[in-house]
Amino acid sequence: MQNNKDFGWFFTGFTEAEGCFNINIYKTKAGKYTAKLRFSIAIMQNDLDLLNKFKNYLNCGIISKPRSNDMVHLTISKISDINNILIPHFKNYPLRGNKLQDFYSWCVAAEIITSKSHLTSEGIVKLQDLFKNMNRSRVSLEDYLPSHCNKNSENYIPINGNYISGFIAGDGSISIYPSTLTLDNSKFCKIFISLTQHKNNLLLMNEIKEFFNINNKLNIYPNNTIRLLIENKEFFRSTLIPFFKKYPLYGIKLKNLNKIIKILSVIDKYNINKNNVYTQEIRQEIINIWFAES
C-alpha cells in the first residue's frame, strides 16, 4: 500500500485531469442571492472503487449517482471541509496545469463565503466575476501562467511521478485498438497510451514528455488540443510498466494496464518479435486476456 503522501500527489494529478472547482450562485426561497462552493469529480460508474478511495483519503465528501447517466460523483461542498481539508491539500500538493487558476479563484471565493460577504450584494458581484472567469468560461486564457511548470520561475515545483500517474488515471488512455484484436488482422494487438489536453496545458504536457524521455513532437490540432500518443510495445516494457511499478496507478486504467502486462508476457513467452506472425492460438490467448471480466 502506498503511503498517504504518494496518494496525495496521485489525487492532485487526478484532479488536474478530472476535478472541477465550482461556484454556485443561486436565489433562496426568500428571493435573496447566496452562494456555495462545490468541488466535484465525476467518473464512470465502473470506477466507483477509485472514487471511494478518494473519499477515504479526504475523509469528507458525498458520493452520488445521478439516474440520468453512468457516472458517479464525489462532491464536497461543506465550507468547513473546503477550508480545513481541500484547500490545505492543494496547498501541500499543488496543481500545476490550468486547473491551478481555477483553484486560485476558488480560494478567493472561499474567503468571501467564510467571511459571510456572500450575503451582501458586493460579495455576490465579486463571486460572479470570479465565476465568469473559471473553467470553460475562462476568458483570459492568455493570462494563464503555469509557473509551477516553468523551470525559470521561482515558483517552479519539480513534477512528481505520482502526480503523473493520477493525471494519466484521469485523462489518459491505456489500451489496445479493439480493431487490431481480430483473428485475421495483419496488425495484430496494437497497444497504445494517449493523453489529450487543451493547448493551454502545453507546458505540462512537455514536462510529462520529458519525464518519459519521449521525442514525439506535440502538435496543436485545429480544435486547440494537443495529443501525446505512443504506440510502441517497447515503450511499455522499458518505460511505462516500470514507471507504474514505482508510481502506482489505481482504478479502471490499472485493470487495462494489468491486462497489457499479461499480454506482453504472452508475446515474450512465444518469443514473438516484429517480423513474426501470431498463430491463431496465440491470438486467441491474447484476445481472451483482453476481454476477460475484471
The residue range among 13-21, 49-57, 63-71, 125-133 that interacts with Ca ion, by the rule CB under 5 A, is 13-21
171 binds Ca ion (CB under 5 A): yes
Nearer to Ca ion, 100 or 282 (CB): 100
Nearer to Ca ion, 47 or 171 (CB): 171
The residue range among 11-19, 68-76, 125-133, 179-187 that interacts with Ca ion, by the rule CB under 5 A, is 11-19
Cα gap 79→38, rounded to integer Å = 9
Nearer to Ca ion, 135 or 180 (CB): 135
Question: Least Å distance between CB 61 and Ca ion?
Answer: 19
Nearer to Ca ion, 155 or 225 (CB): 225
Up-side HSE of residue 21: CA atoms within 13 Å toward CB?
A: 29
Question: Least Å distance between CB 262 and Ca ion?
Answer: 29
The residue range among 12-20, 58-66, 112-120, 182-190 that interacts with Ca ion, by the rule CB under 5 A, is 12-20
Residue 278 and residue 263 in contact, taking contact as beta carbons nearer than 8 Å = no
Give Cβ neighbours of residue 286 (< 8 Å, ≥ 6 apart): 181, 188, 189, 263, 266, 267, 278
17 binds Ca ion (CB under 5 A): yes
Give Cβ neighbours of residue 70 (< 8 Å, ≥ 6 apart): 44, 45
Cα gap 148→146, rounded to integer Å = 6
Question: How many angstroms separate the Cα of 268 from the Cα of each of 37, 82, 118?
Answer: 52, 49, 62
Which residues in this chain contact Ca ion in the complex, by CB under 5 A? 17, 171
